[in-house]
Structure 1
Amino acid sequence: MLILTCPCCHVTAEETEFHGGGEAHLKRVGPDGAEGEFESYLFMRQNPKGVHLERWRHVYGCGKWFHMARDTATLEVFGSYAAQTLAPPDHIVDAIRKRHPDWQWPAAS
């Protein structure tokens, strides 16, 4: 079982109080986007074994969305941060790199 902390209301609880919402930091496609781009936005997602940045919602709490970094293989949670953040904050990146020194956020590559 995952123990998560909501960065909005600072409640720490079991994952059953939250709901996963898929991959974080997706770039939305506007009305003028190509069909292939829209299809990619809707259906193509990463499913890595290892570090993954995800969206979560504090369903039985404040109701707000946030992002979280975790390892899908070990279920280790590196931290959570506000959904309005465009990139993982430095303290999250540092926590990830302590365990995975070679890790690079795809958008930074």
Structure 2
Amino acid sequence: MLLITCPWCGPRNETEYHYGGQAHVPHPESPADLTDEQWAEYVFYRDNPKGPFAERWMHSIGCRRWFNVLRDTATHEVLTSYRPDEPRPGGNR
């Protein structure tokens, strides 16, 4: 079980949340101009590192807000959580 801290509601059990994938994936500026291959890359291809990884989560049982979590994918340890308008702590990815 993970204990995830919602930036607005505080620490809660992982069962209150919904996973939303990799954080900080920019939306294409002109989606209509993308080839099928470029669109598929945007939709389906994500990083899969071993170690700290920024993810999106939504507090579905609480405030229903999206936020980011920095989690170690090797140990599942939640390193920190932060609002979407805040920069990723410790650099990019």
Same fold (TM over 0.5): yes
Q: In 2, Cα distance between the equivalents of 1:37 and 1:84?
A: 27
- Structure 1's consecutive aligned runs of 4 or more residues displaced over 4 angstroms after TM superposition are none
- By percentage of residues, which structure has more strand? 2
TM-score by length of 1: 0.75
Aligned counterparts, 1:68-107, within 5 A: 68-85=69-86, 87-88=87-88, 92-93=89-90, 105-106=92-93
1:66 corresponds to 2:67: yes
- Alignment RMSD (CA, Å): 1.5
Give ranges in structure 1 of 5+ residues lacking alignment: 94-103
Structure 1 residues 56-105: Cα deviation after superposition (integer angstroms, max 9, x where no partner): 000000000001101011111111111233x31xxx32xxxxxxxxxx52
Q: In 2, Cα distance between the equivalents of 1:33 and 1:49?
A: 30
Which structure has more relative contact order (CA 8 Å, sep 6+)? It is 2
Q: In 2, Cα distance between the equivalents of 1:67 and 1:76?
A: 14
Q: In 2, Cα distance between the equivalents of 1:34 and 1:84?
A: 30
Question: How far did residue 48 of structure 1 move?
Answer: 1.6
CA contact (8 A) 2:6 2:81 kept: yes
- Of 31-40 and 13-22, more deviation after overlay is shown by 31-40
- By percentage of residues, which structure has more helix? 1
Report the 3-state secondary structure (helix = DSSP H, G, I; strand = E; otherwise coil) of the residue aligned with 1:31: helix
Query: In structure 2, what is the equivalent of residue 98 of structure 1?
Result: none
Aligned counterparts, 1:1-109, within 5 A: 1-7=1-7, 9-29=8-28, 30-85=31-86, 87-88=87-88, 92-93=89-90, 105-106=92-93
TM-score by length of 2: 0.86
